[in-house]
Amino acid sequence: MPQLERPSLPYTRFSPEENFENLDYIIVGSGIGGLTTAVFLAKAGKKVLVLERHIQPGGFSHTFERAGFVWDVGVHYVGQMSSENSFLRKVFDYVSDNQLDWASVGEIYDTVIIGNDQYQFPTGEENLRKELHKNFPKEKPAIDRYLKLSRKVSRLSGLYFAEKAFPRIISKLAGSIFRWPFLKYASRTTGDVIGQITNNKRLQAVLCAQFGNYGLSPQHSSFGVHAIIARHFMDGGYYPVGGASQISSSMIKCLEKHGGMIRVGADVSEICLNLGKVNGIKIKEKFIPCPNVISNMGASLTLDKLPASLKTKTLPFNLKNINSSTCHFCLYLGLEHNQQEIELPRHNIWYYDHHNFNELAKNSLKELQDPLSFAYISFPSEKDPQWQQEHPGKTTIQAIGIANYEWFKDFENQPRRQRDEGYNELKEKFKNNMLDLIGRLFPDLKNHITHCEVSTPLSTRHYMNTQHGEIYGLEHTPERMQEKSLRPETSLPGLYLVGQDTTMVGVASALLSALLTSSTILKFSIARHFREMHTLQARK
């Protein structure tokens, strides 16, 4: 998340001189959840204002540029885009006015490297089954049980998430009926459930090898989250044509077309209350009245924006037993070459130096590993079919590693680009270790690297406005999945929550959270409205 070099952006900056009247909803934060909610409400005739702290909207869907290279910062692939009739694809079409195109990352969407062994994740459940059977011929019954159970748990999650949009009184009386079938599995750890399916440690590791998608090792993560994300990608991975920023830019065009507004450079300092109800927000001393505020900032930061006078017992959600999610380093590489000189994959690479992921994650959080024991490597320029037309002879790579925010505490209040040498030493060590690893995996790349830089949890904290540099909101533990207060409608009248803390991590989950929040506000008329609008678009 380094600073953008673009001289200007096509978004209106917030001005304290501007007056906003008769707003129905203010949405704080322009991530996918916030923008999707804004489009739904604007299309339903509501007057909506989206406020974004930074100069570029989109949250983790935005991109940044250096010397002709462009990198995404959070959208590496999206599942369930294979058919125009898939529900997720229809939602994307609806909130973008059909302006988003998707490209497959190929027949293989992930390759897992454990030590000297490689395992591929091919598109399609049956293809994955055959691949796993080939690699673990003695474990065929266990593999089949795992695939069947992950499918079952993923389907049960529909009732669990739908309950979050129920009126609070109905949820209190009957919510457990909808939540329990999913929580039967989501209340257990991934390691516990998979450990009962198979005793084969290497197979357990392969089944859990994408745990970086939700940021917790098998020992700590909820199996419900694991099952949903694993199933999400089984039909393949897809990438937005033109790059990740196309997601937010197409949504913003749609929002403004239907009368919604977005302002950047708008750092909300307080969510204001009057007689226990929301009555607007403040940006420094500027008060903007509005009876409804939808927070896309995450639950923890939302609590920090509420008045200090609010008594603890009246807080809208309970985060007592839930911590922030994982942090990361990211190495951004730019390469220049002739098209024939290097060949890189479109799929992602998960690298581990051994298969004890719990021990690996534990040690990686103690100190920066030397050499690295984990890496996630993505190739955004290879995934985008338009890339070479716009950036001939250039290639981009992103390589992610595990970080611990405690390593950076001493530097968090120091001026950016003027931090103590210890901060730069951490960045340099990670950069060199990751370059060594990439050099082992792709020996031909070294002489083509022309740009190289590292982001840290402090970069994430600055650009994404997170509290501890986290990338996945609240950690995805069994305890988090059991917390009932993490839902769109809070106990404070006029305050709503949207984003991954109401559902879970990922672009698809952010869209789901927006559907739930919009449905809560519009009393489920959103489903009819979405159906009617999609039918009209199809006829056109």
User: What is the model's pLDDT at position 529?
Assistant: 53
Q: What angle do CA 465, 468, 472 make, to 5 degrees?
A: 75
Residue 538 — pLDDT band, cuts 50, 70, 90? low
- Residue 321 pLDDT exceeds 90: no
Region at 298 (left for phi over 0; alpha for psi -120 to 50; beta for the rest): left
Dist CA 390 CA 384 (whole Å): 11
Is the confidence at residue 528, as pLDDT, over 60?
no
Strand ordering across the sheet containing 270-274 = 270-274, 277-283, 286-289
Please tell me the predicted confidence (pLDDT) of residue 315. Answer: 81
Q: What pLDDT is stored for residue 342 in this prediction?
A: 84
Q: At residue 135, does pLDDT exceed 70?
A: yes
What residues contact 24, with CB distance under 8 A and at least 6 apart?
41, 46, 47, 48, 290, 291, 292
User: Could you tell me the pLDDT band of residue 317, with boundaries at 50, 70 and 90?
Assistant: confident
Is residue 286 classed as helix, strand or coil in its secondary structure?
strand
pLDDT value, residue 536 = 46
Q: Compute the average pLDDT of residues 1-13.
A: 54
Confidence at residue 74, expressed as pLDDT on a 0 to 100 scale: 87
Please, are residues 78 and 239 in contact by the beta-carbon 8 Å criterion? Answer: yes
Least-confidence region, from 64-73, 92-101, 353-362, 435-444:
64-73
Contact 429, 370 (CB under 8 A): yes
Q: How confident is the model at residue 530 (pLDDT cuts 50, 70, 90)?
A: low
Mean pLDDT of 237-251: 95
Burial class (CB in 10 A: 0-12, 13-18, 19+), 22: exposed
Is residue 532's pLDDT more than 80? no
Helices of type H across 27-66 = 32-43
Peptide bond into 380 cis (omega under 30): no
Three-state DSSP state, 513: helix
Distance CA 526, CA 172 (A): 23
Average pLDDT on 13-39 reads 96
**3-class secondary structure per residue, 132-154:** HHHHCHHHHHHHHHHHHHHHHHH
pLDDT at 524: 59
Whole-angstrom Cα distance, residue 372 to residue 500?
29
Is the pLDDT at 525 greater than 70? The verdict is no
pLDDT over threshold 90, residue 100: yes
Please give the pLDDT value at position 357: 96
Q: What DSSP state is assigned to residue 322?
A: -
Is pLDDT at 534 greater than 90 in this prediction? no
Neighbouring-strand partners of residue 398: 332, 378
Does residue 16 carry a pLDDT above 90?
yes
- At 5, the pLDDT band (50, 70, 90 cuts) reads very low
Q: At what angle do helices 525-539 and 87-96 cross, to 10 degrees?
A: 80
pLDDT attached to residue 7? 35
DSSP state of 521: H
Mean pLDDT on 213-235:
97
Identify which of 98, 271, 244, 164 has the alpha carbon closest to the alpha carbon of residue 500: 164
Q: Does the predicted model carry a pTM greater than 0.75?
A: yes
Arithmetic mean of pLDDT, 502-519:
94
pLDDT digits (tens, 9 = 90+) for 393-431: 999 999 999 999 999 999 999 998 899 999 999 999 999
- The pLDDT of residue 3: 38
Candidate from 6-15, 100-109, 291-300, 524-533 with smallest mean pLDDT: 524-533
- Closest to 352 (Cα-Cα) out of 116, 109, 143, 135: 116
In tens, the pLDDT along 185-202 reads: 999 999 999 999 999 999
For residue 321, the Cα-to-chain-centroid distance in whole angstroms is 22
Which three-class secondary structure state does DSSP give residue 120?
strand
Q: How confident is the model at residue 312 (pLDDT cuts 50, 70, 90)?
A: low
Give the total residue count for the chain: 540
Mean pLDDT of 470-489: 95
Q: Is the pLDDT at 313 greater than 70, yes or no? A: no
State residue 114 phi and psi, 5-degree precision.
Answer: -120, 110
Q: How high is the mean pLDDT of the chain?
A: 92
Tell me what the mean pLDDT of segment 163-174 comes to.
90
Condensed to tens digits (0 to 9), the pLDDT of residues 35-68 reads 999 999 999 999 999 999 998 899 988 888 988 8
The arithmetic mean of pLDDT across residues 14-19, rounded, is: 94
Specify the pLDDT at position 2. Answer: 40
Are 316 and 49 in contact by the 8 Å Cβ rule? The answer is: no
pLDDT for the residue numbered 267: 96
pLDDT higher than 90, residue 311 = no
The yes-or-no verdict on residue 511 having pLDDT over 50 is yes
pLDDT number for residue 4: 34
